[in-house]
């Protein structure tokens, strides 16, 4: 499912216009992004939790040249599914 299809589903499920659904989805995604950038955790009970974790710097190998390279530390977004979502999937 892509963003357009998701907007269509939101519009049908909530009885909103596609334009209003797009605005709501864009606002939701912007709020999640803003919270993650600030280092906050977003917990949506039953659905899951979005958080930020830090990966430490490490040594890797360039597969083309087989030389060792340094991989920088970085922050990554993480999602952990909630109980209701896991139950629905299994």
Which CATH number does the domain housing residue 79 bear? Answer: 4.10.520.10
pLDDT > 70: percent of the chain: 100
Residues 82 and 47 both lie in one domain: yes
Residues 34 and 66 both lie in one domain: no
The model carries a pTM of 0.79
pLDDT, tens digit, for every residue of 56-80? 999 999 999 999 999 999 999 999 9
E strand or H helix that includes residue 23:
helix 18-37
Torsion of CA 6, 9, 13, 16, to 10 degrees: 80
Structural domain tally of the chain? 2
Taking the C-alpha atoms of residue 8 and residue 16, their distance in angstroms, rounded to an integer, is 9
Note down the domain range covering 66. Answer: 41-90
pLDDT band at residue 50 under the 50/70/90 scheme:
very high
């Amino acid at each position: 499912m892509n963003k357009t299809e998701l907007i269509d589903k939101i519009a049908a499920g909530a009885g909103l216009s596609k334009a209003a659904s797009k605005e709501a989805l864009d606002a939701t995604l912007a709020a999640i992004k803003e919270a993650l950038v600030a280092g906050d955790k977003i917990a949506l009970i039953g659905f899951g939790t979005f958080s930020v974790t830090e990966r430490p710097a490490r040594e890797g190998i360039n597969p083309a040249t087989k030389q060792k390279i340094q991989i920088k530390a970085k922050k990554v977004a993480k999602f952990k599914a909630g109980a209701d979502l896991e139950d629905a999937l299994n």
